[in-house]
Chain A
Amino acid sequence: MQTGDRIHHMDNLRALAMLAGVVFHAALAYSPLMHPIWPLADAGHSILVDVVAWFLHLFRMPLFFVVAGFFAALLVARRGMAGLFRNRGVRVLLPLLLFLPLVLISMHWLTMQAVANVAHPSPALVWMRDWIEQHGALPSLPGWAHLWFLFYLLLFTVLVWVASALGLRRLGERIATLSPLALVLLFPLPLGVALAGTTAPWPAPEFVLPSLWAMAFFGLYFALGCQMFQQPRMLDHMRPFSWLLLIGAAMAYAVLFRLTDGFALTRPTTFRHAMHAALEAYAGLWMTLWCMLAGKRWLQQRNATMRWLADASYWTYLVHLPLLFAIQYRLLDVQLHWAAKFAVAVLVTFAVSLASYQLLVRHTVAGRLLNGNPAKMQQLD
């Protein structure tokens, strides 16, 4: 890889992982599993949503963290540790500090409006209405919302320095030299141990303090991404297993879905919980690796539309949840099939976020903050 080359498939994979978040969060409103707790939960829902959405959930953020780890290693190689910290400070810390208050305030305001005005409220909205009637206000539980991944990226940036100072690179190199078969069979084991520390499917670690399971789980994916940069042929060695990974992931997920009764099983025995965690880990890792292989095969070439979408994806991810709140709270009172509401929510959210990116962000200071210097980016293209 030459210095200055743009790695298109990684950029595109990151964009797709972020844009998939919009689809996933929109789908939660029509998920039977989330119906009792999600404030946007619609009366119309389908098991089909759970089957598809939770499958996407297993590898969407892991894929993002693999890509993030890859780019972190690339930054260290090109600009050194100080360069990595400078870059993460501008691209991660600053957007987190700027957008988190806006996101939290807007979502809280939209929810309060919904509590007051929605005629067909979700069970969570009904609960909030009752609570406010009794106590005057909702209990304050601020966290990172959907921006938790930025907080974890910052933690992993610190851990990159820790790993470098402690000389852990050699350990990663040793693991990377394992045969591809051993890697795809053994790597999910520590992932499963991490997932055993939480419920299935794993929740978003939105709590203000880092959760140990999330640090270990996403950290392992991040470390895998770092190793993929250090050992560029690592992924190529897995190519012969590509379709096996996809089929294996689908089968592991099917067994998991069946065993957990669509994730509705709330109090499994310790053994069954461990088995669920292992199945989640295998399905998630294998799908993530398949996505990496597919990305390298089909998303490698330069493409102006994908380039633009990759640039727009960060902004879209930052603003999509308040937009979904605004749209889906209104849709609660609209008489339509859930699939139509889902399509409207996704399409309008994409349309507003992408249009606002082009009109308000791309050529402004915000665009430079999220995507970097446009002249430099063009040079890399």
Chain B
Amino acid sequence: MNGFGTNWFASDAAMVGKLIVKDWQVYQKQLAGFVAGLLLALGLVGMGTPLLAAAGALLLLVLLLVVGSYAIQSSVMLERKEQTQPFVMSLPVTPMDVFWGKLLANLVIFLVPFLLVTGGLLALLLTTPRPDGAVPWVVVVALFMLAQFCVSLCVVIAVDSEGWNVFAMLALMTLIGPFLYWVTWMPGIREHLQGDAIVWSRQVLGLIGGELAVIAIAILIAGVVHARKTSFL
């Protein structure tokens, strides 16, 4: 059962579901804390004063980064480090069941706050006099955050090295600042940011396509690496 010839899909969808529920239950306390923080941040934005809105927006971004890295750290890296991962060997699961379980559980844990934040920001733009032209910018930045999370997660799943995992996470986080600057000043985005028209320019569509491709490639590579593994560990 090695390499590209292996069954890429989970052998038991119900078991994958149980693994997802297990991770959800283990980390729901922390997730609840993050959701409370996100609601607080949205509430700050909703107060309408520039200072509180800026503080809320910053808190949203920070919490989104923290929730992603925390989920990855605790549900994959920590299980390896504390050697609690081998418990899965006692279950009737294949390595690919575990792969899909980890991938989907982390995505679910991340997507709850991610959708809350992205949906909140889009709602704010679309339903207030703020320029709607910033919608594509928000979508591009949000997808970048999602891609950054997916790549970090896939690296952690694929690479058995804490050092490389930490390096990958930090490197990807460091890219957020330059990326924000780059897309804000990019032709095809910059000139529409203050306008009311939502323009899906060639550059915006290209970026969205690229981000989705990065997510797909990261999952594909992590899957291939995982499928080549001869054991769970």
Contacts and interface: CB of A to CB of B under 8 A. Distances in A.
Nearest to B28: A165
A162 B40 CA distance: 12
Given A165-B28, A208-B123, A208-B124, A158 B35 contact: yes
Interface string B36-78: 1001101111111000100000000000000000000000000
Interface stretch (A135-143, A175-183, A255-263, A343-351): A135-143
A161 interface: yes
Contact of A159 (B39, B45, B52, B124): B39
A211 interface: yes
A154 to B, nearest CB: 11
A158 B129 contact: no
Interface residues of A, number: 24
A209 B123 contact: yes
- Interface size bracket, B side: 20 to 34
A250 B20 CA distance: 54
A210 interface: yes
Contact of A141 (B28, B120, B128): B128
A262 B40 CA distance: 33
A165 B39 contact: no
A265 interface: no
A203 B124 CA distance: 19
Interface in A123-182: 139-143, 155, 158-159, 161-162, 164-167
Nearest to A139: B129
B81 interface: no
B36 A162 contact: yes
Contact of A166 (B33, B43, B44, B52): B33
Contacts of A208: 123-124, 127-128
B31 interface: yes
Contacts of A155: 39
A140 B128 CA distance: 7
A377 interface: no
Most buried by A among B39, B40, B123: B39
Please classify the interface of chain A as helix (H, G, I), strand (E, B), loop, or mixed, using the class held by over half of its residues.
loop
A162 B46 contact: no
Nearest to A211: B46
Nearest to A164: B32
Interface in B185-213: none
Contacts of B43: 209-212, 215
A215 B39 contact: yes
Interface string A187-211: 0000000000100000001011111
Contacts of B120: 209
A162 B35 contact: yes
Interface in B122-151: 123-124, 127-129
Contacts of B45: 209
B127 A142 contact: yes
Contacts of A143: 127
Interface string A204-235: 01011111110100000000000000000000
A158 B28 CA distance: 12
A198 B28 CA distance: 33
A210 to B, nearest CB: 5
A166 B34 CA distance: 11
B59 to A, nearest CB: 12
B87 to A, nearest CB: 23
B219 to A, nearest CB: 29
Contacts of B124: 208-209
A221 to B, nearest CB: 16
A178 B31 CA distance: 31
Contacts of A158: 35, 39
30 contacts: A139-B129, A140-B127, A140-B129, A141-B127, A141-B128, A141-B129, A142-B127, A158-B35, A159-B36, A161-B32, A162-B32, A162-B33, A162-B39, A165-B28, A165-B31, A165-B32, A167-B29, A205-B46, A207-B46, A208-B123, A209-B42, A209-B46, A209-B123, A210-B43, A211-B43, A212-B47, A212-B52, A213-B47, A215-B39, A215-B43
Given A158-B35, A167-B29, 18 more contacts: A141-B127, A141-B129, A143-B127, A155-B39, A161-B32, A162-B33, A162-B39, A165-B28, A165-B32, A166-B36, A208-B127, A208-B128, A209-B42, A209-B124, A210-B39, A212-B47, A213-B47, A215-B39
Q: Nearest 5 pairs between A and B by C-beta? A: A212-B43, A165-B32, A209-B46, A162-B32, A208-B127
